[in-house]
Amino acid sequence: MNFGISFAHTWVLFLLLVPAGLLIAEVLRVWFGYGVKIALPVDRLGPAGSARRNRPDETLSPKLSAKQLVRRIRGIILRGLLTASVVIPVLVMAVVILILAGPKKMGPPQQERVLTNIEFVLDVSGSMASPLGGSGQTRNTAALDAIRYFLEKRQGDTFGLTIFGDQVAKWVPLTRDHKAIASSLQFLDPTKMPRGLGGTRVGFALRYALRNLENVGRKDEEKLTERDEEGEVPETGDQRADAAAAPRTAGDKLIVVITDGFSYDLDGGAATTIGNELLTAGITVHAVHVGEGSPPNQLSEVVSPTGGRVFAATDPSSFSGIFDTIDGMAPVKLAARQPEPVDCFWPFAYTAAGLLLLHGLSLFGLRMTPW
């Protein structure tokens, strides 16, 4: 019968020869008289030939009376019980060896989330400090609240944040540590940005984000290849903790650009060209236009080739609906994961506990000598 149990340290199983040898020696001693002989009360009840030769008062007649037959059966049963009480510690030793060998069993099939690498591309030009919809919030604060909302909604995905104006800055690299991004948002104030972030170049920022998303998987694969070739030692606990916060490369890639203005670097067919570049890289782009009025057509031209959409956020309350729509367009995907071996100590632990209980009970009356 296959119980599906394997052992992590199979060499430990060779130690089972020790309890096996002790078990055989004990059976030979008790039942066949080999080794050290101890006078037992059951010698006059059991079937051992040596005991019968030492009983001159009994006839050697092959016919046994009913009384003698009962005595013989009682002797066999008692000798069996005594043997069992003696070998229980040996069986406990065998179970302990099995536990030391590291029993493992394949865990149940599991599914893991196929994450989405999401890059926020946020406009921090001076115009983002303007009020939005008469609500008392600025365009920038409404956008930051929306980013916090989406971070909470997409737990398990990796997020990065790029800010831009005329120039681009990587504010937070891709990470699964959502608190790192949420904590950094309080420092984004368009009125306090350097002069290089004063304009609006959406095309430049999208190409920058494109390069970042393309390099994520490539760099990780190169690191894994180098470690395999160099035979690097296993990771320490701190390294594993750092790796837990690092982005995993599998999954979809998504850019959400939030801007409020017209971008001069998307004119002259540049928007379509950049959109095709993003499509080739397998990146979907959604654009959120913050402010009154209709979004510029150039945003539609850059996101349409990727399968994305342009949204208009005319007041702070519209952001939640926009990001709910984006969330629905990028649904969570689950992929089957190969079952992994897990520790399986409980059958052996329960067996050892049961044997120890029986051994303790046997000490109250089942022992080889009555003194």
What token pair was written down for 203? 């095309």
Q: Per residue in 50-88, is it b (16+ CB within 10 Å) or e — as a string?
A: ebeeeeeeeeeeeeeeeeeeebeeebeebbeebbebbbb
pLDDT (0 to 100) of residue 367? 58
> Shortest CA distance to 140 belongs to which of 184, 187, 182, 190?
190
State how far the Cα of 81 lies from the Cα of 75, in Å rounded to an integer: 10
pLDDT of residue 339: 74
DSSP string, 311-339: EEE-STTHHHHHHHHHHHHS--EEEEE--
pLDDT of residue 366: 61
Q: For residues 222, 228, 229 and 230, what is the CA-based torsion angle, rounded to 10 degrees?
A: 100
Sketch out the chain's domains with CATH numbers: 5-107+341-362 (no CATH), 111-229+240-337 (3.40.50.410)
Q: What tokens were used for 213?
A: 């998303």
80-to-8, 46, 86, 363, 364 alpha-carbon distances in Å: 36, 10, 10, 15, 17
pLDDT per residue rounded down to tens, the chain (371 residues): 446 788 888 899 999 999 898 888 877 776 776 665 555 554 554 444 444 444 444 444 556 678 778 887 887 787 777 777 778 888 999 999 999 998 988 877 766 666 688 999 999 999 999 998 777 889 999 999 999 999 998 888 889 999 999 999 999 999 989 999 999 999 999 999 888 888 899 999 999 999 988 876 555 444 444 444 444 434 444 444 444 444 444 468 899 999 998 898 998 899 999 999 999 998 999 999 998 888 999 999 999 999 999 999 998 889 999 999 988 877 666 566 677 788 888 889 999 999 888 888 877 766 555 54
* Two tokens, residue 92: 């406990």
Is residue 212 within 8 A of residue 160, CB to CB? The reply is yes
pLDDT value, residue 39: 58
pLDDT of res. 53: 45
CB 109 within 8 A of CB 336: yes
Q: Residues 288, 311: contact at Cβ < 8 Å?
A: yes
168 vs 20, 44, 94, 146, 364, CA distance in Å? 73, 99, 67, 21, 83
In this prediction, residue 23 carries a pLDDT of 85
- Alpha-carbon distance of 5 to 125, in angstroms, equals 62
Amino acid 111 reads: Q
Residue carrying the six token digits 């608190």: 179
266 DSSP assignment: G
Tell me, what's the pLDDT at 232? 44
* Contact yes or no for 26/83 (Cβ under 8 A): yes
pTM here is 0.59
**How are beta strands 116-123 and 158-164 bridged, if at all?**
parallel
Q: What is the pLDDT at residue 283?
A: 92
Question: For residue 197, which amino acid is it?
Answer: L
